[in-house]
């Protein structure tokens, strides 16, 4: 997949959108990031003014992580399969937001450490491994499992796009997953564990120190091998994060926009950009997570989040919460009069 390239956004539409935004009957810059979001939407849709996204798909890529057994999270791994069932039942946080804002949610078991008996094949059939391994002790997954996960993530993006999606959101579910996500961001940015570590589901100070130590040991264990983004994913990420990365990269390759979520989503976006330069043009940031690594990664990608409300749930929830703002941005650019017309009338 390293040979693939992201599609090109429509520069003409971007230029038209910038011109229209500057000409609206509003003071310059008064729409803030909504104005920027409208310009971005114009470019990725190839049309000015842009349309509010109407077929939004959230794909939650679920997977467990061996680090969860090493004191880095406030919850046990047994929560992961229970939450997968909650997504299927439509009772998770993102399920509620998606219903409210007209988005569809699909959950897929990439690497949950449970057989998820009784769930439909469309949830479980793609399973790559039962849990990714603890990254401070060994590579999260083999290169073969990583390739399989990448193929799964790309296929899931293709399925959503072929079914008519006009905006994709990657969601995550997996106890412990903020640890490999922070490690991926540290390795991608050449930063130290102490700069990227955050509290995830809410670890106490001792848990935070253990988490920092696990990330630090993982970074030192993998060393320069992490320079290769595929090795980085296999060694420091895991199957779910590889699938998530390919999901985002395939969207960019197919020219379909993505609204990014929290630290897991943005970690994968960073790796996707390394694998397939130019991807970031197809990404907008839904929200800012309190995880320090997420802000560091957003800064590196040059993205400003639409929302900053302290959400730290994952699941794609922060992106779905930002959806009304993105749609508002589109209708503002299309419906607000031009100042010249207002003054001339």
Ligand X SMILES: Cc1cc2ncn([C@H]3O[C@H](COP(=O)(O)O)[C@@H](O)[C@H]3O)c2cc1C
Ligand Y SMILES: O=C(O)c1cccnc1
Q: Which of 74, 155, 73 is nearest to 110 (CA)?
A: 155
Select 6 or 72, whichever has its Cβ closest to ligand X: 72
Binding of ligand X by 7 (CB under 6 A): no
Shortest Cβ 334–ligand X spacing (Å) = 35
Select 64 or 274, whichever has its Cβ closest to ligand X: 64
Whether 315 is catalytic: yes
Tokens of 224: 């320069």
Please give the residues from 243 up to 262 whose contact with ligand Y meets the rule CB under 6 A. Answer: 261-262
Binding of ligand X by 235 (CB under 6 A): no
Measured in degrees and rounded to the nearest 5, phi and psi for residue 328 equal -60, -40
Q: How many amino acids of this chain bind ligand Y (CB under 6 A)? A: 13
Q: Which of 197, 226, 191 is nearest to 210 (CA)?
A: 197
Q: Which of 114, 225, 95, 235 is nearest to 171 (CA)?
A: 95
Tokens of 322: 């930002």
Residue 27: cis peptide before it, omega within 30 degrees of 0: no
Please give the residues from 298 up to 317 whose contact with ligand Y meets the rule CB under 6 A. Answer: 312-314
Residue 302, by phi and psi: left (phi above 0), alpha (psi -120 to 50) or beta? left
Kindly name the residue from 36, 253, 273, 315 that is annotated as catalytic: 315
CB atoms within 10 A of CB 288: 21
Please give the residues from 153 up to 172 whose contact with ligand X meets the rule CB under 6 A. Answer: 172
Q: Which of 178, 289, 294, 295 contacts ligand X by CB under 6 A?
A: 178
State how far the alpha carbon of 60 is from the alpha carbons of 20, 105, 188, 206, in Å: 36, 7, 23, 30
List the single partner that 263 binds among ligand Y, ligand X, none, CB under 5 to 8 Å by kind: ligand Y
Binding of ligand X by 294 (CB under 6 A): no
List the single partner that 109 binds among ligand Y, ligand X, none, CB under 5 to 8 Å by kind: none
Tokens of 82: 């229970």
Please give the residues from 161 up to 220 whose contact with ligand Y meets the rule CB under 6 A. Answer: 178, 200-201
Please give the residues from 37 up to 76 whose contact with ligand X meets the rule CB under 6 A. Answer: 73-75
The DSSP code sequence of 328-345 is HHHHHHHHSPBHHHHHH-
Q: Which of 176, 286, 292, 316 contacts ligand X by CB under 6 A?
A: 176
Coil, strand, or helix at residue 129? coil
Select 39 or 269, whichever has its Cβ closest to ligand Y: 269
Q: How many amino acids of this chain bind ligand X (CB under 6 A)? A: 18
| Residue ranges that bind ligand X, judged by CB under 6 A | 73-75, 79, 83, 172-179, 200-201, 313-315
Binding residues for ligand Y, per CB under 6 A? Answer: 178, 200-201, 261-264, 289, 291, 294, 312-314
């Amino acid at each position: 997949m390293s040979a693939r390239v992201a599609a090109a956004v429509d520069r003409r539409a971007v230029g038209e959108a910038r011109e229209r935004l500057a000409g609206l009957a509003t003071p310059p810059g008064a729409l803030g990031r909504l104005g920027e979001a409208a310009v971005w939407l114009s470019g990725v849709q190839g049309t000015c003014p842009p349309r509010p996204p109407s077929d939004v798909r959230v794909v939650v890529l679920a997977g467990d992580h061996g680090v969860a057994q090493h004191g880095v999270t406030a919850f046990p791994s047994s929560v992961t399969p229970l939450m997968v069932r909650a997504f299927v039942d439509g009772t998770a946080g993102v399920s509620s937001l998606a219903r409210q804002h007209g988005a569809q949610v699909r959950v897929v078991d990439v690497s949950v450490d449970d057989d998820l008996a009784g769930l439909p094949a469309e949830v479980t059939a793609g399973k790559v491994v039962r849990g990714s391994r603890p990254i401070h002790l060994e590579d999260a997954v083999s290169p073969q499992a990583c390739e399989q996960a990448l193929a799964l993530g790309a296929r899931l993006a293709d399925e959503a796009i072929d079914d008519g999606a006009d905006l994709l959101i990657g969601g995550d579910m997996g106890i412990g997953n903020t640890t490999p996500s922070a490690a991926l961001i540290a390795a991608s940015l050449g930063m130290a564990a102490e700069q990227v570590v955050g509290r995830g589901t809410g670890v106490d100070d001792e848990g935070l120190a253990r988490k920092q130590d696990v990330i630090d040991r993982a970074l030192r264990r993998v060393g320069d091998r992490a320079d290769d983004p595929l090795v980085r994913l296999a060694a420091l990420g895991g199957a779910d994060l590889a699938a998530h990365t390919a999901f985002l990269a395939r969207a960019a390759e197919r020219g379909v926009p993505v609204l990014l979520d929290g630290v897991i989503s943005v970690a994968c976006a960073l790796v996707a950009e390394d694998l397939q330069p130019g991807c970031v043009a197809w990404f907008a940031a839904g929200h800012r997570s309190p995880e320090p690594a997420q802000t560091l990664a957003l800064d590196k990608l040059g993205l400003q989040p639409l929302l900053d409300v302290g959400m730290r749930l994952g699941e794609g929830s922060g992106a779905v919460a930002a959806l009304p703002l993105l749609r508002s941005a589109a209708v503002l650019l299309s419906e607000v009069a031009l100042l010249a017309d207002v003054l001339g009338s």
